[in-house]
Amino acid sequence: MATWAIGDLQGCYDELARLLDKIQYNAANDALWFCGDLVNRGGQSLEVLRLLRTLGDQTVVTLGNHDLSLLAVAERNEAEQARVNPELGAILFAPDREELLGWLRRQSLLHHDEKLNFTMVHAGFAPRWTLAQAQRAAREVERQLRGPDHARLMRSMFGNKPAVWSGRLKGIERMRASINVLTRLRYCDVRGRIAFGEKGAPGTQQPGLYPWYEVPGMVKRETRIVCGHWSALGRFSGLGIYAIDTGCVWGGSLTALRLDAEEPYFVSIKSTRPPPAARDMD
């Protein structure tokens, strides 16, 4: 049995099929982890959701910012939903939309496997988070997301404030801060204040900002972390971090990481998509 983590799909169904062939995925024995941003921009988001929903209990998904955005749009009126791009519209007006969106809403913000000593999250950890604190923050959001009052969260979860997570936060501000860390974090300062506008590769950021995984004075991590979200960072391994968003939708590659190997290793397939003229990396 193999356990593979796969980077941001963003609707790249054809590349996923090729990657599963390359790693010789066996549905009867192997486990797949997907680190979020399943949908948007690749043109085949509906096909991606339909496939992942059928893969069963051996499949783990952590939600990304694009996935949450889709769920939020799904709570708006039909006229507003009709104004989204055709790719997301295909999901919102699909005959099986309720099954797909219900499945997506039940996915996690963080997944931890004690035996493998791996934790998967879409973006990152706040500098002062222990694993237990990160798990608690994720579970709070997940309970709301899966509950009867999920529409209220969907209406209020977006925004850059508060930019720093704190245990003193309450209500929707606490939820929003947790979501921002778990699904949007790249750079922050030593206090953990997120720099939402900084999206380039390390070394391009403003002074006083650090990649989230190397902030001075941060809490020592008790687990290895696999994450996506940051295509400009690309494939990275170091400091107990394994980053696997290699920009498939931007003409890069789609990457899988073998988690159960004695030494985790990457397998990638090249995207055939042309690089876009303009690039919004959120």
pLDDT greater at residue 172 or residue 281: 172
- Mean pLDDT (the chain) is 96
Task: Please state the pTM of the whole predicted model.
Answer: 0.96
| Residue 281 in domain | no
Q: What residues have CB less than 8 Å from 42, skipping those under 6 apart?
A: 9, 10, 11, 12, 13, 15, 48, 87, 248, 249, 273
CA distance 266 to 209: 28
| Residue 279 in domain | no
Nearest to 34 by CA among 175, 184, 245, 201: 245
Lowest mean pLDDT, pick from 10-14, 66-70, 151-155, 223-227 = 151-155
Q: Contact 164/178 with Cβ under 8 angstroms?
A: no
| Residue 237 in domain | yes
The pLDDT, as a whole number, for residue 266 is 98
CA distance 207 to 93: 46
Q: Contact 219/239 with Cβ under 8 angstroms?
A: no
| Residue 40 in domain | yes
Residue type for 43, please? G
What's the maximum distance between 2 C-alpha atoms anywhere in the chain?
A: 52
Q: Contact 256/226 with Cβ under 8 angstroms?
A: no
Domain with residue 121: its CATH number is 3.60.21.10
CA distance 125 to 178: 9
The pLDDT, as a whole number, for residue 216 is 97
Whether 279 shows a pLDDT value over 90: the answer reads no
Residue type for 27, please? A
Q: Using a pLDDT cut of 90, give the percent of the chain over it.
A: 94
The pLDDT, as a whole number, for residue 273 is 85
Give the pLDDT confidence of 41-85 residue by residue, as tens digits. 999 999 999 999 999 889 999 999 999 999 999 999 999 999 999
Split into its structural domains, the chain has a count of: 1
Q: What is the mean pLDDT of residues 147-176?
A: 95
User: β-strand 3-6 against 31-34: which pairing, if any?
Assistant: parallel
The beta strands (E) that lie in the chain are given as 3-6, 31-34, 59-61, 110-113, 118-121, 187-188, 210-211, 224-227, 236-238, 241-243, 253-258, 265-270
Residue 108's DSSP bridge partners are: 62
| Residue 176 in domain | yes
Token reading at 210:
């650090």
Give the pLDDT confidence of 186-245 residue by residue, as tens digits. 999 999 999 999 999 999 999 999 999 999 999 998 999 999 999 999 999 999 999 999
The pLDDT, as a whole number, for residue 277 is 62
Token reading at 238:
């170091």
Quote the domain boundaries for residue 44.
3-270
Nearest to 118 by CA among 249, 257, 246: 257
| Residue 275 in domain | no
CA distance 225 to 117: 9
Q: For 126, which DSSP code?
A: -
Q: For 249, which DSSP code?
A: G
| Residue 191 in domain | yes
| Residue 55 in domain | yes
